[in-house]
Amino acid sequence: MIKIAEYLTPTPSPLWKLAKQAGADWAVGSLPFDDPLNAGDAPWDYFPLLRVKQSFESHGFKLAVIESRPPLNNAKRGLPGRDEEIATVCTLLENMGKLGIPVWCYEWMTDFNWLRTNTSTPARGGSLVTSFDYTLIQDAPQTELGPISEDTLWENLEYFLKRVLPVAEKWNVKLAMHPDDPPLSPIRGIGRIMSSVENFKRLLDLVPSPMNGITMCQGNFTLMTDDLPGVIRQFGEQDKIFFVHFRDVIGTPEKYSEAWHDAGQTDMLACMQAYKDIGFDGVLRPDHVPTVEGDSNENAGYSSYGRLFALGYIHGLSQAVYND
């Protein structure tokens, strides 16, 4: 059975109660960068992570995934200082292993992370979603560090994985690579290598390891394939799906918008059936929900009330599939 989770900040908030009331028993957490008790400890050190885990447990959640990263841009670009950045990841993985936190979600997007050109696109009933239109940024200036090729990113990723995967294997922590968002390359002169099903196959072969796997972010993967349930089965049968972002979009990699979970272009029921067929028993969380009436769009894509619909929809799909 899948484990339904929600992404929660390290500090308790009303969303913690809402998520629990909506049936999420598992937490996907971020590193505690703003913890005033850190003192001389880094967010990836043992005691800050311990406090986060204890806080979740005291509110009835099990912490299953860390979905934030120490600084890694030097490592991605192969710049001086990359070995020091890689050392912080090794520290994080060791402490996650000691604390029994089994999955680290990371990405290989350089200079900037996920990208949208509009964060208030109208959707159903006046709700707001994020959207992307490549024509609006095709002439955007390059980043401060300038272009980087896909070949260089692959070289730097191999260097990174060869150093961190032995630590992940020792401490039994799975590395779940998130796709590039959008799955399009290049953007602003920056290569984006986690942007196709074929490249995820290459990732798994790059440094083979039982700890080298995938975050199946459906919103990105459905822009890479016409058969998302088939891709879920393909990677799932290899036991390489470690974590799932259950979301949907409408459009193409060049132009798309986020969608309500019941109104996108993907057969979400077929996806849930695929997870059952492959025996997936890991963590699945909603992602990039609409902003609905009465909620703030300040953190676009992460409306608290919008998540309640998503959690309810996911529960309904899971009961329809797993109770069949």
Instruction: Name the pLDDT band for 37 (thresholds 50, 70, 90).
Output: confident
Phi, psi of 157, deg, nearest 5:
-65, -40
pLDDT at 137: 94
Instruction: Name the pLDDT band for 281 (thresholds 50, 70, 90).
Output: very high
Of 7, 106, 256, 302, the active-site residue reads 302
Q: What percent of the chain has pLDDT over 90?
A: 95
Instruction: Clarify whether 217 is annotated catalytic.
Output: yes
Of 105, 181, 261, 288, the active-site residue reads 288
- Average pLDDT of span 107-117: 95
Of 217, 248, 275, 295, the active-site residue reads 217
Of 105, 178, 256, 275, the active-site residue reads 178
Instruction: Clarify whether 59 is annotated catalytic.
Output: no
Q: What percent of the chain has pLDDT over 70?
A: 100
Instruction: Name the pLDDT band for 189 (thresholds 50, 70, 90).
Output: very high
Is 90 exceeded by the pLDDT of residue 49? Answer: yes
- Among 54, 28, 56, 50, smallest CA distance to 38 is for 50
- Average pLDDT of span 90-105: 98
DSSP 19-78: HHHTT--EEEE---TT-TT-TT--TTSHHHHHHHHHHHHHTT-EEEEE------HHHHHT
Of 35, 45, 287, 295, the active-site residue reads 287
Specify whether the CB–CB gap between 45 and 95 falls below 8 A. yes
| Radius of gyration, alpha carbons of the chain | 19
- Average pLDDT of span 12-36: 93
pLDDT at 38: 84
SS (H, E, C) 159-196: HHHHHHHHHHHHHCCEEEECCCCCCCCCECCECCCCCC
Quote the CA–CA distance of 227 and 83 in Å, as a whole number. 39
Quote the CA–CA distance of 270 and 137 in Å, as a whole number. 34
Instruction: Clarify whether 181 is annotated catalytic.
Output: no
At 215, the amino acid letter reads T
- Average pLDDT of span 203-227: 97
pLDDT at 237: 97
Instruction: Name the pLDDT band for 185 (thresholds 50, 70, 90).
Output: very high
pLDDT at 236: 97
- Average pLDDT of span 84-105: 98
pLDDT at 129: 97
Is 80 exceeded by the pLDDT of residue 53? Answer: yes
Hey, what domains does the chain have and what are their CATH numbers? 3-322 (3.20.20.150)
Residues with Cβ within 8 Å of residue 94, at least 6 apart in sequence: 167, 170, 171
